[in-house]
A and B are shown apart, each in its own frame.
Chain A
Amino acid sequence: MAEPALSIRGLTKAYGNGFRALKGIDLDVAQGDFFALLGPNGAGKSTTLGIVSSLVQKTAGKVSVFGIDIDEDFARAKYHLGVVPQEFNFNQFEKVDDIIHAQAGYYGMPMREAKPRAETLLKDLGLWDKRKGSARMLSGGMKRRLMIARALMHRPKLLILDEPTAGVDIELRRSMWDYMRRINREEGTTIILTTHYLEEAESLCRNIAIINNGEIVQNTSVRDLLAQLDTETFLLDLSRPTESVPVVQGFEVQQIEGSQLAVLVKRGQRLNDLFQQLSSQGLEVVSMRNRANRLEEMFVSMVEHSNGGKTGAPTQGIDAAQDASDDREGARR
């Protein structure tokens, strides 16, 4: 088999304040994969991707990109990497065009190649009309797409996206998904993304790793993960409120509101049974949906489990202290 696009072994990170953000993680992402890294806030996703893209210094462990150890030849590894970070990291005062062209230049791409490449990408990502304006005049969603275009300029074989669709509206999100699928399929670009939208991971990605408190708690294919789900909760809307919770043989039923029921369905059980019993009690179901995205339920239970039953995201750590300095350069211009 070909080398993995990304291979991580025993990666640990202790930040300057002593906080251990990664506690020795192992991860492999195969070439051509579409891979999701999931985890609650503060789990260590950005730290992991930051180390891979040289923005964060690792404490220990090995990282290689297409078989190139970053300790041995980071420059060569970087050629293969395109990075879309979680936070906007372009100069707001520069023009879109300049940002994109400069990025190509940093990779040694001559202008005559950069220009047509930039045109294709900006058009694909719907930024062509904005190219002459300065980056601060873009909307939030456009800024994300600018970072994607920028990351793709040098045709990386591995694209790393840290929450690419945060703050992007539904329609646009779908078009970004289509775009990512396209480059994954047509150009064979390996894609790793982090996201908080489980639906995104489910519909885009083939493989998935779940990280919590700096440890990988699950690493498998999306299909296998979903197959592990043995229960699913459906919400049923009835045509009229019921007085009492109906008793349905074999199913666990809860009343959410007068006319809404939550039903726990185990694997192997048939919905027909459920409906027959409800009809025989004179109850009409008008509509039905999943309580949560299936993966979401899984995710919540897994994270809770690895937190030792405690719910809620861990609250350790510090916020990036950015507030102290006022953006004078911004104010002056």
Chain B
Amino acid sequence: MQNKCIINNKEYNFNDGETILEVAQRNNIYIPTLCYLKKTGTPTGKCNICMVELRPSGELVHACLTKVEAGMNIITESDKCVAHRREVLEKLLALGYHDCPTCPIPGDCELQDLVWKYGAKGIDLTKKEKDYVVKYITPFIRWDSSKCVRCGRCIQACFDVQVNNAIRVYEVNGEAKKADRDDKVTSLFDSREYVERLKAEFTEPILPAPDENFCVSCGECVQACPVGALSSSYEWLGPKKWQMKKVQTTCSYCGVGCQLDLYVKDNRIFLVTGANEAPNYGSLCVKGRFGFRFISSDERLKKPLIKKNGQFTEASWDDALDFISKKLTEIKDQFGPDSIGVFTSARITNEENYLVQKFARAVIGTNNVDHCARL
């Protein structure tokens, strides 16, 4: 039985040091998680939803923290696990104010999915005091404290993935706890201390949120948040993810070339998230994630324009292209091809750049082709 374990009565190989969760995920065996942020690879074991049962002892252990041992016999959905998960979920529901129709991401929520899956019961919201805050930390980042499940994923996203260190711990009513106001959070601050604190004060009304003075709106925490506590202003206002078509493409701002998922409906982009691919693996910056609205700006050019007596007038493609063709040919005939220059662009595709230089060289007959963004 060297490096073999049993999950749900089937045998699997594992590597030294692998956790139950890692072996399960590698083999497409479902174990629910909330606080686990795969990207950082440092599980905190905070939310307790991933507890699985060991046989024959019947012990419940964290799948995310427990290293697999040879011969280990694991059941992922035993009655005991399910009962435990239901209990955890009911506690989480009671902690917040989960009136789903007021959430920015209904239908795209990990908590909601788990509640359905395990049949957890919600509390009577009419009896609950509503002392929560909803506010825009930046124009792009919306915080709704009533939805937070204290999983700490946002902290890991901000401290351990982006290393922007912009999250502080707040009282439920939105006042920052005093110690966190002092900027003791140095550049290499360890997120674990924060996560530990949330764990210790699990029943107390504290929760993490971005600090507007440090947040750079990268949205890593939004993408990490399993619920609607951290969302983007676009998610709040626009159609929901599952109502839209998803198209993966490459960011058009800087040279990093991050992979984006564009969410599209009715020929319009409403939302952008980071695609889980190289080179960015889900991370983006404010421009890539939130800077796409220019595409649907009213100021976009929609028709060719020809200048007559100093004034632009709209023209058909035929007229515009014929006019350009005639003028360029005249200039080429009179002054030679080298009297014409072409500025191609760092903004257009490879294929287009290739065509542009081919046009300059093979059609006009000049090597006067260059682009502005030299480096």
Q: Are A and B physically bound partners?
A: no
Residues of B whose CB lies within 8 Å of any CB of A are none
